[in-house]
Amino acid sequence: MQPKTSKKNKSRIKTLTLMVGLALPALSQAADAEKEVVLPTVTVTAAGEALGESTEGTGSYTTGKTRTSTPLSMSIRETPQAVTVVTRQRIEDQNFKTITDVLNSVTGVSVNQYETHRAQFTARGFDINALMIDGVPTTWDQPWSSGEIMSSLAMYDRVEVVRGATGLMTGAGDPSAAVNLVHKRASSKELAGSVTAEVGSWSERRAMFDVATPLNEARTVRARVVGEYTASDSWIDHLEEEGKTIFATFEVDLAPGTLLAAGYSRQENDPRGSMWGGLPVFYADGSRTHWDRSKSTSADWVRWESTYENYYANLQHQFDNGWTVKASYSHGDREADSYLLYLSGAPDRVTGLGMYAFPGSYNVRTRQNDFGLQADGPFDLLGRSHEAAIGYVNSRQQFNADSRASTGGPAGDFNHWDGSYPEPAWGPLAYYGDGTLRQEALYGALRLNVADPLKIILGLRVTNYERSGNDVYSSPYQMEFDHELTPYAGIVYDLNDNFSVYASYTDIFQPQQVRDISGKYLAPIVGKSTEAGVKSAFFDGRLNASLSAFRIKQDNLGQATGVDIPGTVPPEKAYEPSSGATSKGFELEVAGEVTRGWNVSAGYSQFKLTDAGGNDINTIYPRKLIRLFTTYRLPVLEGALTVGGGVDWQSETYTYADTPQGVSEKIEQNDYALVNLMARYEITRQLSAQLNINNLFDEEIYGMFDAYSQITYGAPRNASLTVNYKF
């Protein structure tokens, strides 16, 4: 079923789009043509700033400009929200390979890894359910995971994380954070590249190449290709991993100030022996289990293949007066084909009997097309220079799910489970569900230079949101929200050359995909988010620091009831809306270069999240986090040796679950700290070797699947050795 857009709504959008087109030339002419435009120090041709600064080759743990929170290009200090940028240097130092690796080490962000290949990203007590690629939101239906948490970092220059509500850029969204993956660029005017080889614990193997080159003598056409292959066993029985990534991009200087950039990527993940669900918390007699970390519920035949293809193109022109117009298009295609095994129940402590096996097989595909048009630049008003941005976005996503019928049965002796449970005779693919999501919006933002130290940022987004579909659990559904207004307001006051104070406000609007006991979806989450703090920048922006306090208030946030929705197999838990869910807390962060050769990224965050009655909610998310990592290039051996280390600490998490006897019992993960070390030796100017050790003290940790009384253990101590050659 396709959602319907009224002729009246279409007419309004066309009228607003026409107004945008008429307004841009006037604003452009109003700008001072003689005004100096400061471009970033990256090796690109004109119009480079609109595509964003690269962090490659800077050796830095921070960056100059971001666009994740607003359409205006602003420094971290100028942005009235908490911002973390994980640069290419930090990605390499900590040997991050996936987006999950990054988010496990970002200030204010936690990851609940409740299965081997599904996890929930969270910030400030709320879920992060959307990832952005080059500023384009890709809606992520977390229960229908298609490899999102395993997204390879090989093709990305950096990861930007803006905490709080970001509705101005994402439309419908959560008040948690926006995670923006920014592609590497084909900006090099010389042949350059690298080759990387890695070995590690559990037979890990990784190989990667990255080559950039100009394609013509004038160097106006440039290309870049990145390829990566990974394979490994696991600390978990029966689990094997294999991944392949290819990325190709080019840039063309079509004319002075005009740049065309386009790219293609494909990532394949082929895990075997994935766990669907976790390990049971209780024995049949109600006592607690304690499994080896290698214990698995999977079978030898289990597989969860996924692919993601992405095409994108950007065309932009920068005028002499500083204004830039950019048109962009992106197409994404995610597909997952899974043959899984879920074990339910509580085993007998002695015999291991009592578990039941549910085989499940699903083919899931999500296709998304995004088109955007934006203009931004300076203009003069009342004797002062200001900035403006205005744009239009159109996003369409189509989701389809098919399943293969199968039959389950008793799982046998789980105490001696060896993965030999027979694979069922699968039926043919049959319809399971579908959905269509459309967002169309106009947005605008102003950065008003009220006085030399005072800047006011105002923004507004008008969104038409439509969602419809069918699924196995309920009758056809349709959600339609016209002209949803998302305001944004921020103020930044410079106290001196190094310190600023700021405040910001935005509304929250997020349809949710959880159901009540009758099988109906809950009403959208609505609420308000405010933030205030102090920011500072030192050494020409090479070191940034911030202290932020926030308050988020939500209504209609779904909370698990612990009761099954009738007729759902496997059982789906019902949710109910909560009123007045409020999160408030603060975050402290420092990132950048303290002195020459000494990089640091350090953050502390804490929050309190309660419902209207003052009861704690979402308690499986840690309330306090410490994120610390630092490296130092030693002044010995001609500076060839760099050492580093850090700690990721989180406070306790817990939930309550019923024992087989119906007694509610607390399941708790105590607070823990993971200590990580690294050392890199530059054998020559081109060749280096790097050792990374993670979870040095071999802490035993787990993520909780609170709705099903299950846990999944995290990785024990592990190490990797990486050799890199640059040319």
In SS3 terms, 574-632 reads as EEEEECCEEEEEEEEEEEEEEECCEEEEEEEEEEEEECCCCCECCCCCCCEEEEEEEEE
Tracing tokens 């082929």 back to the chain, one arrives at: 270
Which CATH number goes with the domain that contains 210?
Answer: 2.40.170.20
3-state secondary structure at position 75: coil
The list of the chain residues with pLDDT below 50 reads 1-51
Q: What is the dihedral of CA 399, 333, 163, 183, to 10 degrees?
A: -170
Beta strand pairing status for 573-578 and 641-650?
Answer: unpaired
- Predicted confidence (pLDDT) per residue in 51-91, tens digit: 457 999 999 999 988 888 899 999 999 999 999 999 999 99
568 near 432, Cβ under 8 Å? no
- Domain containing 95 equals 7-287+315-726
What is the predicted pLDDT for the residue at 236?
98
- Taken as a whole, the chain contains a residue count of 727
- Exposed, middle or buried by CB within 10 Å (0-12, 13-18, 19+), for 335? middle
Non-local CB neighbours of 355 within 8 Å, separated by 6+ positions: 280, 343, 344, 345, 346, 347, 410, 411, 412, 414
- Exposed, middle or buried by CB within 10 Å (0-12, 13-18, 19+), for 143? exposed
- Exposed, middle or buried by CB within 10 Å (0-12, 13-18, 19+), for 647? middle
Rounded CA-CA distance 682/724 in Å is 9
Eight-state DSSP code of residue 257: T
Distances in Å between the Cα of 297 and the Cα atoms of 419, 480, 666 are: 7, 41, 23
What is the predicted pLDDT for the residue at 171?
85
pTM comes to 0.89
Residue among 706, 716, 721 nearest 281 (CA):
706
289 near 331, Cβ under 8 Å? no
Rounded CA-CA distance 408/427 in Å is 13
Give the side-chain half-sphere CA count within 13 A for 150: 28
Instruction: For residue 316, report the phi and psi dihedrals to the nearest 5 degrees.
Output: -140, 155
What is the predicted pLDDT for the residue at 418?
96
Instruction: For residue 664, report the phi and psi dihedrals to the nearest 5 degrees.
Output: -75, 130
Q: Specify whether the backbone of 14 is left (phi greater than 0), alpha (psi in -120 to 50) or beta.
A: alpha
DSSP sequence for 483-536: EEEEEEEEEEEESSSSEEEEEEEEEEEE----B-TTSPBPPPEEEEEEEEEEEE
Q: Is residue 400 part of a domain?
A: yes
Give the side-chain half-sphere CA count within 13 A for 99: 26
Non-local CB neighbours of 684 within 8 Å, separated by 6+ positions: none
Cα-Cα end-to-end distance for the chain = 54
Beta strand pairing status for 454-471 and 429-451?
Answer: antiparallel
Non-local CB neighbours of 438 within 8 Å, separated by 6+ positions: 3, 5, 395, 396, 397, 464, 465, 466, 467
What is the predicted pLDDT for the residue at 474?
55
141 near 130, Cβ under 8 Å? no
Instruction: Assess whether the previous peptide bond of 570 is cis (omega < 30° from 0).
Output: yes
Q: What is the spatial order of strands in the sheet that 126-128 belongs to?
A: 109-112, 120-123, 126-128
| E strands present in 164-233 | 177-183, 192-200, 204-214, 221-232
Distances in Å between the Cα of 715 and the Cα atoms of 147, 485, 510, 701, 719 are: 19, 44, 34, 8, 11
Rounded CA-CA distance 9/14 in Å is 9
Question: How many C-beta neighbours within 10 Å does residue 486 have?
Answer: 24
Distances in Å between the Cα of 229 and the Cα atoms of 118, 195, 205, 332, 333 are: 21, 12, 8, 21, 20
Rounded CA-CA distance 617/632 in Å is 41
Q: Is residue 294 part of a domain?
A: no
Q: Find how far residue 602's CA is from the centre of its chain.
A: 20
Q: Is residue 293 part of a domain?
A: no
Q: Is residue 57 part of a domain?
A: yes
Q: Is residue 605 part of a domain?
A: yes
3-state secondary structure at position 48: helix
Eight-state DSSP code of residue 40: P
Distances in Å between the Cα of 596 and the Cα atoms of 84, 91, 602, 629, 635 are: 21, 19, 17, 16, 10
Distances in Å between the Cα of 272 and the Cα atoms of 143, 231, 299, 419, 650 are: 19, 11, 9, 12, 30
Element (H, E) at 393: strand 384-404
What is the predicted pLDDT for the residue at 9?
42
Distances in Å between the Cα of 382 and the Cα atoms of 184, 491, 601 are: 40, 19, 41
* One-letter identity of residue 279: L
Element (H, E) at 471: strand 454-471
Beta bridge partners of 485: 462
Q: How many domains does the chain divide into?
A: 1
664 near 656, Cβ under 8 Å? yes
Rounded CA-CA distance 226/687 in Å is 19
Beta bridge partners of 377: 388
Residue among 512, 513, 460, 505 nearest 484 (CA):
460
